[in-house]
Structure 1
Amino acid sequence: MTFNDRIFGVLLIALAVAYGWGASQFPEPFGGSEAIGPDTFPTLLAVVLGLCSLYLIVRPDPDHAWPWSRTGVELVIAVVVLVFYAMLLEPLGFIISTTLAVGTLCWRMGAEPLRAYLVGAVAGVVVFLLFNFALDLALPLGLLSFLEVS
């Protein structure tokens, strides 16, 4: 049933549009029109999601089965983890939320819990440092705001 992929593609396009609109609502960075601002990365993600969604609509997978077995349950868990990640990003901060989200997803994919959350912590710190210092884009520190250098 290629119909399922097309419905999913339409839903993902709606998500891409909403995500792109949300990214456009970020305030302008101080100093005017910089090439890279806080909306750059989310806008890029919205465009990629929109293009992938169009591909799903135009060229759906000929496989008829949706994975409503263990794989389907894991997909639902991944979506729930990502929703909670988005909700906890501001209050907990980027590093802690990323540690929890990446660690949980790695654990669900079969990694040992200690290693999974260690990978999540390293990913959170590395991406935070990359965004803060290499790209000069501030990410929320949340509970770790005492580390903020003024």
Structure 2
Amino acid sequence: MALNDRLFGVLMLVLAVAYGWGTTQFPEPFGGAEAVGPETFPKLLAVVLALTSLYLIVKPDPDNAWPPGRTWLELVIAVVVLVAYTLLLQPLGFVIATTLAVGTLCWRMGAAPLRAYLTGLVSGVVVFLLFTYALDLPLPWGVLSVLEAD
């Protein structure tokens, strides 16, 4: 059964390399090279993914097993939610898309629907405010763009 981990590790290593290469395609920031630019965080993610992938390849879990059918269904739902999130982020805006994505994922993990979507709303608003005002990294307003101040 260690083959499962090794196969997954190889696939994730390929993803890490592709993702890392993608970060090198970002345009150079205005004003020359900076120590920390828009590619820094994605590069860190690529390195962490590569290291954990190598660990899975070198030291797989001897007792791993494929999850049962219900777990596969939940994993497919999670992937569909995340793909929909990326597609809806620009048109709906960060807060609404995040509310829907986080709320749906929380609900699928067993939270009551009202609490799940309230958690999504609070998460979306807090992260939006943090990125937009504290970090000065604007996130998409989407349908809320009528509220956007110039």
Identity of aligned residues (%): 75
Cα distance 1:140–1:42, how it changes in 2: closer, same or farther (>3 A)? farther
TM-superposed deviation, 1:63: 1.8
Root mean square deviation, CA, Å: 1.9
Report SS of the residue matched to 1:110: coil
The count of residues paired between Structure 1 and Structure 2 equals 150
User: Separation in 1 of the partners of 2:116 and 2:107?
Assistant: 5
TM-superposed deviation, 1:110: 0.1
Larger CA Rg, structure 1 vs 2 = 2
TM-superposed deviation, 1:119: 0.6
Cα distance 1:132–1:34, how it changes in 2: closer, same or farther (>3 A)? farther
1:100 paired with 2:114, answer no
Contact 1:95–1:125 (CA under 8 A) maintained in structure 2: yes
Cα distance 1:100–1:70, how it changes in 2: closer, same or farther (>3 A)? same
User: Separation in 1 of the partners of 2:57 and 2:70?
Assistant: 25
User: Separation in 1 of the partners of 2:13 and 2:65?
Assistant: 22
Report SS of the residue matched to 1:89: helix
User: Separation in 2 of the partners of 1:22 and 1:65?
Assistant: 32
CA displacement 1:18-67 (0-9 Å, x = unmatched): 33333333334444434443323322222222222222112211224110
1:50 paired with 2:50, answer yes
Contact 1:37–1:137 (CA under 8 A) maintained in structure 2: no
TM-superposed deviation, 1:108: 0.5
Unaligned runs of 5+ in 2: none
Q: Report the equivalent of 2:136.
A: 136
Q: Report the equivalent of 2:72.
A: 72
Cα distance 1:78–1:101, how it changes in 2: closer, same or farther (>3 A)? same
User: Separation in 2 of the partners of 1:136 and 1:40?
Assistant: 16
Cα distance 1:62–1:81, how it changes in 2: closer, same or farther (>3 A)? same
Unaligned runs of 5+ in 1: none
Q: Report the equivalent of 2:16.
A: 16
TM-score with structure 2 setting the length: 0.86
